[in-house]
Structure 1
Amino acid sequence: MKKIVYIFLLCGLFATDLASAQAKKATWIYYPGDFEVWLGNKMQNRRTDRGAFLPVLWKMDSHYVLVEFHKDFDVPAAEEVKLYVEGTYNVKVDGQAFVGYPKSITVPAGHHKLSLKVYCQDRVPSVFVQGNTVVSDGTWLTTFEDKEWIDATGKVSDKSGTVYLNAGAWNFNNPLMPPSKFSLPTTPQHAVSSDKNANSFFLDFGKETFGFVKLHGLKGKGKLHIYYGESKEEAQSVDHCETLDELTINEPAKKDSVMELSKALRYVNVQFDGSISVDSVSMLYEYAPLKERGGFRCSDAEVNKIYDVSKYTLSLATREFFIDGIKRDRWIWSGDAYQSYAMNYYSFFDSPTVTRTILALRGKDPVTSHINTIMDYTFYWFLSINDYYQYTGDKTFIKQFYPRMQTLMDYCLARRDKNGMMSGLAGDWLFIDWADGLSKKGELSFEQLLFCRSLETMATCAKLNNDTEGAAKYQALADELKAKIFKLYWNEQKHALVHSLIDGVQSDNVTRYTNMFAIFFNYFNEQQKQDVKQNVLLNDKIQKITTPYMRFYELEALCAMGEQDYVLKQMKDYWGGMLKLGATSFWEEYNPDKSGADVYAMYGRPFGKSLCHAWGASPIYLLGKYYLGIKPLTPGYNTYLVEPNLGGLKWMDGTVPTPDGDIKMYCSASEIKIKGDSGTGILRIKSKSKPACKDATIVSKGNNVYELTVEKGKNYAITYTAL
């Protein structure tokens, strides 16, 4: 396989007109969201199940095949403008079309409108325009229907009714590397051990990894089989391993051969017959070149290992998009992605991968099903936009795609039952979690809670779009639903929200899910929080959670209640338990009660479980937000809170990235050092006596709580006595 490697964060910029050192730099542009949809289709349809194509379970949308781009320019002097286009196109200046398909045009001095209309079926219609002042970038306007017509007199119609958006753009800054040629970079990787026999190789790459197996010196005629395994047992199981390659070889001379599709692996079992010979086997490691920004170190070596493996797990599951796991699905699941976004904000802070994933999940109108067909995953999609705005402060994205939020919410509102609740109709998958015996009957409190939060998100986004009527409508619906949740689901005897209503009657079952979400949504009053903590979260009689997916939220709720000491022990027990079993990345599911072959089994298959699953990396988020204690108070960290909690650690040292720099902090039981590169922070300290800092005024807030203001770019050293 000849693979085009496009290192998108480090690609060279197109050399513009050398006669002008002031020439602006161009980028490829396209209809916003279309590249994301196109790339998502391409990536998600690479999944195989033991060599057989396995397509997604939901409707797949496509890009718009005919797109118009334009922008007005003030051109100081006539200039040559070069045109690079993906598709068939025409080009106009001030409405006058050029003949044919020019590769360059001359734009005269003065005020002019340049427009291109592009048709492309197999790729996303895209343009790269490079002049001195006339360049393509995200300020261009674009539409998929310009509604332009000419009457009998030759008069061109007014374009009223046409909706224009700002063009989509990313890091495609080289005219010879258009969006359609995008791929992740690769680098050679070699096994740490290789057992070679006459007709086989068995390789161990030392840890979980991902990429393309490469056969060196392949020659001969016959059948060649490659069996992949996240565990040694899986790679050895030729009948049950989840992924494999089968090839018919007819090579008269030695050559190197790279497999067509990338795979998750630690172990590789290569077997061949006939006259085939292979000199050696390696791989091309495929990766997203993310920049390491967040960091965490502490006094506990096991916690440091948990953090490192969490970060490696997230990096493996961050590909073109945030995906679930690298072995089996390799799809974009909204619930999985929602957690990846949170971890990303405390590690790489890679906003383009967030928005790219959000857009690929949403797709196009009309809406015909929930995202991934899962009701709760639709709600996570709304919540992800709220979080994205809080962490990045990016209003432009929300304003651009607010109409897609509206139509998805319209779909949800149209599927409410007679009580105004979401209870699941034909085609709706109610997931919540992988848990034995979890009832999905009736009106589930968990779905109503996520629905309520989604309506609140809509109200926030409506305000950002100056949609006062929409903001009032969504907020009223959220307030009404929240009142219903507490009226219908709260049980005074159980001191908790019950799991469901069936025919209007409370079920007897109490689960952790709704109750823990209501804590960090801040829906409970203080007494209810304490009741839920004791009667649900710390109650072993309530069904336990065995997936890292929901452990994420369970431990977040406990951290929000100040239980960092307890959570640290849980983290060491749960994630440390996987490490003790030899995990080099964290798993889709871990049940300490399972042993032997059952450790790898899931979905009724002996090796169905993913041993590298994004939702297993949640310690990144927990350690950043609830131990370092750093979170935005206003969008984009314009203001932020730092509330460190050692949780039993002797010291910790960490970095939390923000849109405009980093927040660095060291904390022990007697000293805190902090510096923020942007925004204004509030450092909140719990101390037995008033802390001391020569560079700031410390204000007592009562009950041994003290605060000081962290100004941008200043270093602070505080001495205190931890409670």
Structure 2
Amino acid sequence: MKYYFTLVSLFCVVVGWAQQRDSRIREYLPPVKILWQSCDIPGINNLLQQGNGQSELAIGDLCILKSTEKEQASVLLDFGREIQGGIQFVTGMSPSHQPVAVRVRFGESASEAMCDIDGHNGASNDHAMRDFTLQLPWLGVAEAGNSGFRFARIDLLDKSAELHLKEIRAISIYRDLEYKGSFSCNDERLNEIWKTGAYTVHLNMQEYLWDGIKRDRLVWVGDLHPEVMTVSSVFGYNEVVPKSLDLIRDITPLPQWMNGISSYSLWWLLIQRDWYKYQGDFNYLKAQQKYLTGLLELLLTKINEKGVEQLDGFRFLDWPSSENAEAVHAGLQSLMVQAFDAGVELCSILDEEALAARCKSAAQLSRKAGQYLNPAGTKQAAALMAISGLMVPGKVNDMYISVGGAKGFSTFYGYYMLRAMALAGNYKGALDIIRTYWGAMLDLGATTFWEDFDMDWLPDAARIDSLVPVGKKDIHRDYGKFCYQGYRHSFCHGWASGPTAWLSEFILGVHVVEPGCRVVRIIPELGDLQWVEGTFPTPHGVIKIRHERDANGKVKSSIDAPEEIVIIKE
């Protein structure tokens, strides 16, 4: 037998068969709650028991769905948390030996699982099938589905039929990763927000790093930046990041823009800079040299003689700011400054000194030109202007970002707004906005963070983990704009994870100084917190940190780092 398998393996190599192994695992989850049923269903609570996925002849505890000519048996299940994957049915010996048809509807909210695709409410099967029919065998097991969901509605479609169910389990598919980074403080709301951001990105770390697990299962490289910062803060190195960066590079020959969006090619540069800073993988950076230098050469042609950006393609920051052309221009100018600054760093490392000098001159010229721009009332552009040095961070904080608190925040650019507040020293204000804005999603029943959220949606909004009561608003169906209207809105979007990376960097205080975390500066900023502790992953091992405010208000720190890392305390 061993000789046979050796020959098979050799044959596969000779004929060039590609053997690709899935990097993910499967976990089976029983429902935690029955949210609704269309009629009396005998044994329905048996579905809440943990099963083993095996059909059996002697089955005692069954759930029996029956339908007549006029009545259809249906049930809505809650699996307790958002997952990426599908669903498994384990059947018993129904009276008929024929397959039985069921309809499956997944939902990121309870109301989405109850809806039809009607062309008006936003529900769709884009990217992933969330509404489909399935034939279930007699005394067997059937699996189907590949989407992001928490809720599932099951309808027995056949008339005058009876279906015996031993189990219905969700199949969670994910990378089995250790959460090397951690964050804990005396405010449990912030702790839950940090964990939720980490889990949101974890679900999107499939074979590639996706935008969302229901809709936008694509590599949108600009959206990756907050995700990559979260990956670096929680998991450390993971192949999904370079694999995704290489994918978008390989399908975007210059002079094309990544995803057709000029700013996204700029974000690719910034991710390369930050990924190298955190991981210190020179060989990987070296492999990017040809494309990276070619992209910088292209960007040098996209400013005029005064340093004003003239980017073409789709001009985009994020969706909420997309209709404000003046703000988009100010934001793109800021990103060009950051891209040229990154070009100086990366070209110096890659021994491209002549190009580094040209990038330095372009950065200076672009920075000078950008100082006269206006963020046009948007917190998105204002944040980028503060980060790139086009505006004084304190002015940005006082005139734009802190005005109205969380009003005007967005899930993608919220990360950069928080960074701008940190540059202004407004850590307490940033913590309050995290509690208010991201915390509001948790208050509505979220277990992952959403593609978009607006504080104006809150009044009279029902929770997403229950059916919408009369007089309450369906926050999933009734809101959303642009590409995420109604139920098309993604409730697990990695770009919304910004608070996780931000809390690790600015409150726990981990600032990477030299590539590969060879030198790390620890600057604790507790805001209104009494203590904070956590861990931070590096290529050399985990840094353990605790900061505590004493009776006099002075912060005392305890830091335990691998011997390869130089720690600078401030």
Q: Smaller-chain TM-score range?
A: 0.7 to 0.9
Quick check: 1:365–1:404 contact (8 Å CA) kept in 2? no
Identify if the C-alpha distance between structure 1 residues 298 and 366 changes in structure 2 by more than 3 Å, giving closer, same or farther: closer
| Aligned-partner SS, 1:325 | coil
| Aligned-partner SS, 2:132 | strand
Instruction: Check if 1:190 corresponds to 2:190.
Output: no
Quick check: 1:545–1:551 contact (8 Å CA) kept in 2? no
Quick check: 2:308–2:369 contact (8 Å CA) kept in 1? no
Deviation at 1:611, TM superposition (A): 1.4
Within 5 A, what are the aligned runs for 1:300-699?
A: 300-364=187-251, 366-367=253-254, 369-416=256-303, 421-425=308-312, 428-435=313-320, 438-440=323-325, 444-486=329-371, 489=372, 497-499=373-375, 509-522=376-389, 524=391, 528-540=392-404, 544-594=407-457, 595=461, 596-600=473-477, 601-603=479-481, 605-670=485-550, 671-677=556-562, 678-684=564-570
Give the counterpart letter for 1:292 in structure 2: Y
Equivalent in the alignment of 1:99? none
Structure 1 CA distance, aligned partners of 2:525 and 2:532? 9
Question: Could you tell me which of 215, 225, 234 is aligned with 2:89?
Answer: 215
1:10-55 Cα offsets, whole Å, 9 max, x none, are xxxxx9xxxxxxxxxxxxxxxxxxxxxxxxxxxxxxxxxxxxxxxx
Identify if the C-alpha distance between structure 1 residues 364 and 87 changes in structure 2 by more than 3 Å, giving closer, same or farther: farther
Identify if the C-alpha distance between structure 1 residues 88 and 369 changes in structure 2 by more than 3 Å, giving closer, same or farther: farther
Deviation at 1:452, TM superposition (A): 2.1
Structure 1 CA distance, aligned partners of 2:147 and 2:136? 24
| Aligned-partner SS, 2:534 | strand
Deviation at 1:449, TM superposition (A): 1.6
| Aligned-partner SS, 1:267 | strand
Quick check: 1:225–1:271 contact (8 Å CA) kept in 2? yes
Instruction: Check if 1:277 corresponds to 2:163.
Output: yes
Deviation at 1:375, TM superposition (A): 1.5
Identify if the C-alpha distance between structure 1 residues 86 and 453 changes in structure 2 by more than 3 Å, giving closer, same or farther: farther
Structure 2 CA distance, aligned partners of 1:520 and 1:484? 16
Deviation at 1:207, TM superposition (A): 1.6
| Structure 1 unaligned residues grouped into runs of 5+ | 1-14, 16-81, 90-118, 124-177, 490-496, 500-508, 685-723
**Which stretch has the larger CA shift, 464-473 or 190-199?**
190-199
Deviation at 1:234, TM superposition (A): 0.7
1:66-123 Cα offsets, whole Å, 9 max, x none, are xxxxxxxxxxxxxxxx98586657xxxxxxxxxxxxxxxxxxxxxxxxxxxxx77xx5
Quick check: 1:249–1:276 contact (8 Å CA) kept in 2? no
| Aligned-partner SS, 2:492 | coil
Instruction: Check if 1:263 corresponds to 2:153.
Output: no
Structure 1 CA distance, aligned partners of 2:399 and 2:327? 24
Deviation at 1:190, TM superposition (A): 1.1
Identify if the C-alpha distance between structure 1 residues 85 and 480 changes in structure 2 by more than 3 Å, giving closer, same or farther: farther
Structure 2 CA distance, aligned partners of 1:537 and 1:273? 52
Instruction: Check if 1:287 corresponds to 2:174.
Output: yes
Question: Percent identity, aligned pairs only?
Answer: 23
TM-score by length of 1: 0.64
1:193-228 Cα offsets, whole Å, 9 max, x none, are 245442333211012122121121286346432111
Structure 1 CA distance, aligned partners of 2:538 and 2:327? 42
Structure 2 CA distance, aligned partners of 1:657 and 1:466? 29
Give the counterpart letter for 2:287 in structure 1: Q
Quick check: 1:223–1:249 contact (8 Å CA) kept in 2? yes
1:597-641 Cα offsets, whole Å, 9 max, x none, are 244432473212211111222221121111111111111121111
Identify if the C-alpha distance between structure 1 residues 203 and 538 changes in structure 2 by more than 3 Å, giving closer, same or farther: closer
Give the counterpart letter for 2:284 in structure 1: F
Equivalent in the alignment of 1:12? none
Identify if the C-alpha distance between structure 1 residues 289 and 510 changes in structure 2 by more than 3 Å, giving closer, same or farther: same
Structure 2 CA distance, aligned partners of 1:87 and 1:245? 40
Higher radius of gyration, 1 or 2: 1
Deviation at 1:359, TM superposition (A): 1.0
| Aligned-partner SS, 2:547 | strand
Identify if the C-alpha distance between structure 1 residues 592 and 366 changes in structure 2 by more than 3 Å, giving closer, same or farther: closer
Deviation at 1:250, TM superposition (A): 7.7
Equivalent in the alignment of 1:101? none
| Structure 2 unaligned residues grouped into runs of 5+ | 3-7, 38-43, 45-64, 67-72, 462-472, 551-555
Identify if the C-alpha distance between structure 1 residues 400 and 680 changes in structure 2 by more than 3 Å, giving closer, same or farther: same
The structure where helix makes up a greater share of residues is 2
Structure 2 CA distance, aligned partners of 1:445 and 1:343? 26
Quick check: 2:387–2:420 contact (8 Å CA) kept in 1? yes
Quick check: 1:399–1:464 contact (8 Å CA) kept in 2? no
Determine which structure has greater relative contact order: mean sequence separation of CA pairs < 8 Å that are 6+ residues apart, divided by chain length: 2
Quick check: 1:221–1:276 contact (8 Å CA) kept in 2? no
Deviation at 1:418, TM superposition (A): 7.4
Deviation at 1:587, TM superposition (A): 1.3
